[in-house]
Chain A
Amino acid sequence: MAKATRESFGETILEAAADNPRLVVLDADLSKSTMTQAFMKKYPARHLELGIAEQNMIGVAAGLALSGKVPVLASFACFLIGRLENIRISAAYNKTNMKLVGTHAGIGIGEDGTSQMGLEDMAAMRALPNMVVLQPADHEETRQAVYWMLAHEGPVYLRLTRQKMADLHGPDYKWGFNKIDVVFEPAKKPAKYLATIVASGGPVPHAVSAAKELEKKGFAVRVANASTLSPFDGEAVARFAKDSQRLVTVEDHNVNGGLGSAVCEAACERGAPVPVVRLGLREFAESATPEELYEKYGLTAAAVAEACLKNLG
């Protein structure tokens, strides 16, 4: 069943709270959007509404973490990353056991427009030592990533979608921290893939659709889902580089500093001679429906398929 990863997050923290008395949730006047309302209603003594003051919320979470709580703060991805210096010191440098949840990732939010879109958050978070960066792509993955995040000792950034995400994994799926998982293989394994698509977050289903379409046309394309962005599973990238003519990265984020950069860095550092085509944002976006924006900024299945086929000259 399709569900926004922010909804899956909201359900999971509610469920986790029953057995985790240290869990505290913080909001900055966006609990209706970050999906923490159910938690707030059931556990009012463990929910802090801090108003439209994200810097203070980040510091308060750090103080709670330093006193033994497991604080989970939530806001839009763009509003959290706007407070990078606070995150750098209060979360990363102090290595506080706090969890930052950025919802409304990317152009997938649609009509609210650029000022509400997190488009550079992964780049900034990946640059911080000690910070784990996660971006699950469906309900089951979000659920397991949230449980992992709560158990992990240290700062974590979790990036979530506003839009609904189709189920990518079955109930038997076992999420692995820092493991890129293959979510689509062509029926016939080729000697060399036309491409391996590495996707993350919102556009993952489009990458799968693209690979299926290309298979019908006789092209072998694999799709991998990167849900841990920092650290990064560079070994998987090196394996893909060996048996693929090219790598294609797809993300609802600026191509600089996010998944596209992580894949290029991993391939280069391991001396993998493979071209990488990066799909993602290269500019600020605008208001429109999510579908129109995915079309205009090249994150649809058709755009991904074209990236697999186009002459790299």
Chain B
Amino acid sequence: MPIATADLKALARDMRVDVIRMIEAAGSGHPGGSLSVIDLLAVLYWKFLKHDPKNPDWPDRDRLILSKGHACPALYTVMAYRGYFPKERLMTLRKLGSPLQGHPDRLRLPGIEFSSGSLGQGLSVGLGMTISAKMDKAPWKTYVVLGDGELQEGQCWEALMAAPKFKLDNLVAIVDHNNGQIDGPVDWVMGIEPLEDKLRSFNWDVRSVDGHDLAAIEDAFARTQECADKPHAIVAKTIKGKGVSFMENDIAWHGSAPKKDDADKAVEDIRHG
């Protein structure tokens, strides 16, 4: 029985609380981009990814790479809620010996497909996985979640150029387009617009979606099935810090952890949002 969208929305709210609390406990981390990407990850992990939390190496699983690795608090939370590991472990984020590294580490945490954090590399790795699946005529898909600032890396465009050559219709790239990065708005740091036109001109199948509207996200993923022979890109318009009013669109919360009083306020905000 697939989860109802209203129930997933409630779960996403709970998970936002965990994201805030784990970053607070860690004393460092990236709340802004974690809160912008979490709805996308929720839809993927509950509605689309074929995976088995009890058997993370299942050969026919779909692969997901969080190329914007700094948003891993969102990924860890989603994984904990899906049963990859106990939720209590979320509070060990960034602590000595924890599998929950500051950026995802595949050798420390089963279920992580690629140790990311050095921006720009994930899409190429996703291409390699997808090519391998094509070679084996295997049924699984690869999903790669990228940041919009990340697209400033030249390697992304090498990968964007290469994917259509191999007709990778089993590859889905999702851009968390929150228009914020460390030094300021993406438009100001190094603009990437018109993004959808760029991707289309690179021969991708492209869709835009409100990255916080769960039903719309679900529809966008579902419609990737309609187009064969091309890799798929979903540009998700998101809000950095989404769900916490004082964090929303404030670049200061890209990479700083809330102290207790701010965290309490944030949790309150999420609960009443």
Q: B158 touching A89 by the CB < 8 A rule?
A: no
Q: Select the residue from A51, A55, A95 with max chain B CB neighbours within 10 A.
A: A55
Q: Which residues of A contact B115 (CB under 8 A)?
A: 89, 93-94
Taking A90-B121, A95-B107 as contacts, is the C-beta distance between A67 and B128 under 8 angstroms? Answer: yes
What distance in Å separates the Cβ of A15 from its nearest Cβ neighbour in chain B?
Answer: 21
Q: Which residues of A contact B59 (CB under 8 A)?
A: 68
Q: B118 touching A85 by the CB < 8 A rule?
A: yes
Q: A66 touching B162 by the CB < 8 A rule?
A: no
CA distance A4 to B122 in the complex (A): 35
CA distance A86 to B125 in the complex (A): 11
Choice from A50, A68, A88 contacting B132 with Cβ under 8 Å: A68
Q: Which residues of A contact B128 (CB under 8 A)?
A: 59-67, 71
Say yes or no: is A58 at the interface (Cβ < 8 Å to chain B).
yes
CA distance A65 to B135 in the complex (A): 13
Say yes or no: is B123 at the interface (Cβ < 8 Å to chain A).
yes
CA distance A66 to B126 in the complex (A): 10
| Chain B: number of interface residues, binned into ranges | 20 to 34
Say yes or no: is B154 at the interface (Cβ < 8 Å to chain A).
yes
Smallest CB-CB separation from A68: which chain B residue? Answer: B132
Choice from B63, B116, B117, B127 contacting A60 with Cβ under 8 Å: B127
CA distance A68 to B121 in the complex (A): 19
Q: Which residues of B contact A95 (CB under 8 A)?
A: 107
Choice from A56, A57, A60, A66 contacting B114 with Cβ under 8 Å: A66
CA distance A71 to B132 in the complex (A): 10
Q: Select the residue from A24, A56, A88, A89 with max chain B CB neighbours within 10 A.
A: A56
Say yes or no: is A45 at the interface (Cβ < 8 Å to chain B).
yes
Q: B124 touching A90 by the CB < 8 A rule?
A: yes
Say yes or no: is B28 at the interface (Cβ < 8 Å to chain A).
no
Question: Which residues, 28 to 58 on A, are CB-close (under 8 Å) to B?
Answer: 45-46, 48, 50-51, 53, 55-58
CA distance A48 to B134 in the complex (A): 13
Q: Which residues of A contact B113 (CB under 8 A)?
A: 66
Say yes or no: is A192 at the interface (Cβ < 8 Å to chain B).
no
Q: B124 touching A62 by the CB < 8 A rule?
A: yes
Q: B127 touching A67 by the CB < 8 A rule?
A: no
Say yes or no: is A69 at the interface (Cβ < 8 Å to chain B).
yes
CA distance A24 to B113 in the complex (A): 20
Q: B129 touching A63 by the CB < 8 A rule?
A: yes
Q: B132 touching A69 by the CB < 8 A rule?
A: yes
Choice from A56, A64, A67, A68 contacting B162 with Cβ under 8 Å: A56
Choice from A46, A58, A65, A85 contacting B124 with Cβ under 8 Å: A58
Taking A89-B121, A93-B115 as contacts, is the C-beta distance between A63 and B132 under 8 angstroms? Answer: yes
Q: A59 touching B132 by the CB < 8 A rule?
A: no
Taking A62-B124, A90-B125 as contacts, is the C-beta distance between A48 and B159 under 8 angstroms? Answer: no
Given contacts A53-B162, A66-B129, A67-B132, 9 further A-B contacts (CB under 8 A): A48-B166, A56-B124, A56-B155, A59-B124, A60-B125, A60-B131, A62-B128, A66-B125, A94-B107
Q: What are 6 sample pairs from A and B whose C-beta atoms fall under 8 A apart?
A: A51-B158, A56-B158, A56-B161, A63-B125, A63-B142, A66-B129
